[in-house]
Amino acid sequence: MARLKLFVPLVAFLVLAGFLFKGLSLDPKALPSALVGKPFPAFLVSELHTDRMISQRDITGEPALINVWATWCYSCRVEHPYLIDLARAGIKIIGLNYKDSPGPARQWLEDLGDPYQLVLSDINGTVGLDLGVYGAPETYVVDRHGVVQHRHVGVVDERVWQRDLASYFADVVVPSTSESTAVEGIL
Amino acid sequence: MNRRCIVLSLLLMLPLPAWPVIETYDFSDTSLETRYHALSEELRCPKCQNQNIADSDAPISRDLRALLHTQLEQGANDAEILGFMVARYGDFVRYRPAVDENTVILWYGPGIVAVIGLLALGLHLRKQSSVTAAPMTPEEREALGRQLAKNTPTPIDTEKSP
């Protein structure tokens, strides 16, 4: 028994080392949304293109991506082509134009293409605030009942899609873009 | 070199990031201002991770400070304001998260570990003080004397050694 006691510090060290080792692979910036598992917050804002008022009822019915974007957000420009690919494959994407002006936002979509079925014009950021948005781009998965299932902070690309988002849209197949980019790389 | 060029190049050296957050809010009551400062120091900027919203110049911190000001002026109490923020940004947004099943180990863990340590130390010390050396028997004393005499080098020995 006294001999076994000698191993207590070793065991304590191993437990601590185990936790610290796990910590190495954790992303300190990963911040789960406080809204996961809760309904998308109620809102009443104008739609960017039509100017008619829309509410949370307009975005429920089928699973959708809610993409927070703005013209002042450089990463949104990087993300945009992939959103267009997703929209082409049949994913319902709702835009949340966060703290932006409608004029430049419309122009942006005209120039770069419009992957959104609806765009919430959140000029003063109140919808973003209720959603716990702290930057752009951010992307939320909302199921057909309007419940937030997942939040991704940062650019959505193919890797992120496959890893975190695709499982929520099991019936939609998004063609891989990696082959075409590989060919472009060779050329 | 003309004067304007020198002034411009000096202006370029201005330490912009070193400027603190300069904002003024008018409060209808000085107690609100005290609470504003306390709350903005307790609320953590979701974007910048290790700054509170009082120190951070991130856009989101600016928004949260404005919101804090509005809520205080509307007469919300501290619990309501913190609840509002936590509902949106999660426990992360508070530097002192509420005690619940997720945080209870953070709040009380160190105290429990310290108590266990003190108890162990106390037990150990008590055990040590209760152990007293038994007096030697005459035989043991004699054996010890013999052993010591055998091991003590004689003066000649020490001189011989290099």
Which residues from chain A sit within 8 angstroms of residue B63, using beta carbons?
125, 129
Whole-angstrom Cα Rg for chain B: 35
A132, B60: Cβ pair inside 8 Å?
no
User: What does the pLDDT average to over A86-104?
Assistant: 93
Q: Are residues B89 and B107 in the same domain?
A: no
User: What does the pLDDT average to over A154-162?
Assistant: 92
A129, B63: Cβ pair inside 8 Å?
yes
Decide if A123 touches B, using CB distance below 8 A.
no
Facing residue for B60 by CB, picked from A34, A35, A134: A134
Q: Are residues B71 and B103 in the same domain?
A: no
A34, B47: Cβ pair inside 8 Å?
no
Q: Which domain holds residue B78?
A: 21-93
Q: Looking at the predicted structure, is the pLDDT value of residue B21 above 70?
A: no
> Which residues, in sequence order, are CB contacts of B55 under 8 Å at separation 6+?
B20, B21, B45
> Which residues, in sequence order, are CB contacts of A136 under 8 Å at separation 6+?
A68, A69, A70, A73, A75, A76, A98
How many Å lie between the alpha carbon of B33 and the closest alpha carbon of chain A?
A: 23
Q: Which pLDDT band holds residue B153 (cuts at 50, 70, 90)?
A: low
B63, A135: Cβ pair inside 8 Å?
no
Q: Where is average pLDDT lowest: A14-18, A63-67, B15-19?
A: B15-19
Please report, for residues B110, B126, B129, the alpha-carbon distance to residue B119 in angstroms, rounded to integers and kept in the order given.
14, 11, 15
For chain A, give the mean pLDDT. 87
Residue A13's pLDDT is: 95
B88, A130: Cβ pair inside 8 Å?
yes
- Examine residue B119 and state whether it is found in any structural domain, yes or no: yes
B87, A135: Cβ pair inside 8 Å?
no
Q: Are residues B77 and B116 in the same domain?
A: no
Q: How many domains does chain B have?
A: 2
> A53 with A151: CB under 8 angstroms?
no
- Examine residue B143 and state whether it is found in any structural domain, yes or no: no
Q: Which pLDDT band holds residue A179 (cuts at 50, 70, 90)?
A: very low
Q: Are residues B85 and B37 in the same domain?
A: yes
Residue A59's pLDDT is: 87
Q: Are residues B87 and B108 in the same domain?
A: no
Q: Are residues B47 and B80 in the same domain?
A: yes
Residue with tokens 């201002």: B33
Residue A180's pLDDT is: 46
User: What does the pLDDT average to over A88-105?
Assistant: 93
Q: Looking at the predicted structure, is the pLDDT value of residue B1 above 80?
A: no
Q: Are residues B49 and B105 in the same domain?
A: no
- Examine residue B144 and state whether it is found in any structural domain, yes or no: no
Neighbours of B80 (CB within 10 A): 12
Q: Looking at the predicted structure, is the pLDDT value of residue A187 above 50?
A: no
Q: Are residues B36 and B70 in the same domain?
A: yes
Q: Are residues B68 and B44 in the same domain?
A: yes
Please give the model's pTM, rounded to 2 decimal places: 0.71
- Examine residue B51 and state whether it is found in any structural domain, yes or no: yes
Facing residue for B63 by CB, picked from A28, A29, A125: A125
Q: Are residues B125 and B67 in the same domain?
A: no
CA distance A109 to A87: 14
Q: Looking at the predicted structure, is the pLDDT value of residue A167 above 50?
A: yes
CA distance B135 to B34: 70
A132, B88: Cβ pair inside 8 Å?
yes
Q: Where is average pLDDT lowest: A19-23, A46-50, A167-171?
A: A167-171
The CATH number covering residue B71 comes to: 1.10.8.640
Q: Where is average pLDDT lowest: A13-17, A118-122, B17-21?
A: B17-21
Q: Are residues B49 and B85 in the same domain?
A: yes
- Examine residue B106 and state whether it is found in any structural domain, yes or no: yes
Decide if A153 touches B, using CB distance below 8 A.
no
Q: Are residues B79 and B109 in the same domain?
A: no
Q: Which pLDDT band holds residue A184 (cuts at 50, 70, 90)?
A: very low
- Examine residue B89 and state whether it is found in any structural domain, yes or no: yes
How many Å lie between the alpha carbon of A33 and the closest alpha carbon of chain B?
A: 7
- Examine residue B149 and state whether it is found in any structural domain, yes or no: no
How many Å lie between the alpha carbon of A130 and the closest alpha carbon of chain B?
A: 6
Residue B20's pLDDT is: 54
Chain segment B76-124, per-residue pLDDT in tens: 899 999 999 988 888 888 988 888 888 888 899 999 999 999 999 999 9
- Examine residue B8 and state whether it is found in any structural domain, yes or no: no
A5, A35, A129: best to mutate for the B interface, most B CBs within 10 A: A129
How many Å lie between the alpha carbon of A19 and the closest alpha carbon of chain B?
A: 15
Chain segment A18-39, per-residue pLDDT in tens: 999 998 888 777 777 788 889 9
Facing residue for B47 by CB, picked from A32, A99, A134: A134
CA distance A99 to A127: 10
> B78 with B86: CB under 8 angstroms?
no
Residue in A123, A99, A120 with CA at minimum distance from that of residue A40: A120
Residue B22's pLDDT is: 67
Percent of chain B with pLDDT over 70: 88
B88, A31: Cβ pair inside 8 Å?
no
Chain segment A122-156, per-residue pLDDT in tens: 998 889 989 989 888 999 999 989 999 999 989 99
B44, B48, B89, B105: best to mutate for the A interface, most A CBs within 10 A: B89
Residue B16's pLDDT is: 66
A34, B46: Cβ pair inside 8 Å?
no
| Ordered structural domains, chain A, with CATH | 44-169 (3.40.30.10)
For chain B, give the mean pLDDT. 84
